[in-house]
């Protein structure tokens, strides 16, 4: 049975993926990271292990005559042509929650790095600048700050739990409100709309999927509702934020800083305006890719494929997307 990985791994990531392959299966990663190569390689695939941004569309599905199932390494579906896949009757499975700890830790790291101005101060210190008091008083503490979380799934709850240790005030909004017991356990206050949270938020952090209704939910209008000097962190999906409007807010000082792990276009291109600013932290969509999380993702994905091949569908029923 051939599992085709729809991106291109080399080095340690490729070694981790190969080590997770069950007996009786072979895995292949793309020789070239482009759509034409994906279509060529799909001809022999029994399973697709989907990561990266190459589209899984009608062209790929038509080539993949032996395809039994599609397994995502994570949970995002923006690269999947859902209607075409449903028409073909191909089941799709995801790895829900497998990298939640890693993303939550990355989120907290970015929040603290913004508050403590770590990139700027690290650069100054490397350059021999030693202005202890002058620089120290430009930093802020997390204790007592109001952190607004957009989305309260696996990652959102872990972030809320971590924030408790710092004495932050955590508010949230989601299409589904948490139970009273969960709100009490994590010290959460519910807001019934995104807009309502913005005027009271010192820090805004995204933990929701991208859908049509929330695309560019943070834009000029909603940024104008935020506190002067607030912080924005995004480890969810890049298109939740209008990057041009974010640039203006950061350049003008409306926002004190921001940190993005996910970007409107990935990978980012030459001329990316946000990269010109020194009050924004940019990371290359690595929040969910700690060593531990990546290994768990590959092992979990391969276990799902092996269970599907063996007909043990009840074991993976809760991981099926459609």
Domain 2-98+290-319 shares a fold with domain 100-282: yes
254 in catalytic set: no
What stretches in the chain show pLDDT beneath 50? Answer: none
Q: What is the architecture, at CATH level 2, of domain 100-282?
A: 3-Layer(aba) Sandwich (3.40)
Q: Give residue 32's pLDDT.
A: 97
Active-site pick, 32, 78, 266, 292 = 266
Report yes or no: 208 and 236 within 8 Å, Cβ to Cβ.
Answer: yes
Residue indicated by tokens 């990546």: 294
Q: Distance (Å, rounded) from C-alpha 182 to C-alpha 311?
A: 36
What DSSP assignment string belongs to 132-166? HHHHHTT---STT-EEEEE--SHHHHHHHHHHHHH
Active-site pick, 157, 207, 237, 263 = 237
Q: Distance (Å, rounded) from C-alpha 2 to C-alpha 44?
A: 7
Report yes or no: 57 and 36 within 8 Å, Cβ to Cβ.
Answer: no
Report yes or no: 29 and 8 within 8 Å, Cβ to Cβ.
Answer: yes
285 in catalytic set: yes
Q: Distance (Å, rounded) from C-alpha 310 to C-alpha 313?
A: 8
Q: Give residue 269's pLDDT.
A: 93
Domain ranges of the chain: 2-98+290-319, 100-282
Active-site pick, 40, 254, 285, 320 = 285
Closest CA to 209 of 285, 151, 286: 151
Q: Give residue 13's pLDDT.
A: 97
Please tell me the pTM assigned to this model.
0.92
Closest CA to 309 of 26, 76, 60: 26
What is the bridge-based pairing of β-strands 188-190 and 169-173?
parallel
% of the chain residues with pLDDT over 90: 98
Q: What is the architecture, at CATH level 2, of domain 2-98+290-319?
A: 3-Layer(aba) Sandwich (3.40)
Q: Give residue 153's pLDDT.
A: 95
Q: Distance (Å, rounded) from C-alpha 203 to C-alpha 147?
A: 5
User: pLDDT by residue (tens digit) across 179-213?
Assistant: 999 999 999 999 999 999 999 999 999 999 999 99
| Per-residue DSSP letter, 247 | H
Q: Give residue 75's pLDDT.
A: 86
Q: Give residue 76's pLDDT.
A: 84
Q: Give residue 137's pLDDT.
A: 97
Residue indicated by tokens 């080590």: 19
């Amino acid at each position: 049975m051939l599992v085709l990985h729809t991106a291109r791994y080399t080095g340690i990531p490729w070694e981790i993926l190969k080590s997770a392959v069950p007996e009786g299966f072979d895995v292949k990663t793309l020789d070239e990271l482009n759509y034409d190569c994906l279509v060529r390689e799909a001809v022999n695939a029994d399973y697709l292990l989907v990561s990266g941004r190459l589209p899984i569309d009608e062209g790929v599905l038509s080539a993949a005559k032996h395809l039994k199932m599609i397994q995502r390494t994570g949970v995002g579906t923006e690269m999947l042509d859902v209607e075409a896949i449903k028409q073909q009757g191909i089941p799709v499975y995801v790895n829900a929650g497998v990298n939640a700890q890693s993303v939550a830790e990355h989120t907290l790291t970015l929040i603290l790095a913004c508050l403590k101005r770590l990139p700027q101060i690290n650069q100054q210190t490397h350059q021999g600048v030693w202005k202890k008091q002058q620089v120290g008083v430009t930093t802020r503490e997390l204790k007592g700050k109001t952190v607004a979380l957009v989305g309260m799934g696996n990652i959102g709850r872990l972030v809320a739990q971590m924030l408790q240790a710092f004495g932050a005030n955590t508010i949230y909004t989601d299409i589904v409100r948490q139970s009273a017991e969960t709100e009490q356990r994590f010290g959460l206050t519910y807001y019934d709309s995104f807009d309502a949270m913005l005027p009271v938020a010192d820090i805004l952090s995204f933990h929701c999927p991208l859908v049509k209704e929330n695309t560019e939910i943070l834009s000029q209008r909603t940024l104008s509702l935020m506190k002067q000097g607030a912080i924005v962190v995004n480890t969810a999906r890049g298109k939740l934020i209008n990057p041009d409007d974010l640039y203006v807010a950061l350049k003008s000082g409306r926002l004190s800083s921001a940190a993005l792990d996910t970007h409107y276009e990935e990978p980012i291109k030459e001329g990316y305006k946000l990269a010109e600013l020194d009050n924004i932290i940019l990371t290359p969509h690595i929040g969910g890719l700690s060593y531990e999380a990546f290994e768990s993702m590959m092992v979990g994905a391969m276990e799902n494929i092996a269970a599907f091949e063996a007909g043990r569908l009840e074991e993976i029923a809760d991981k099926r997307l459609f």
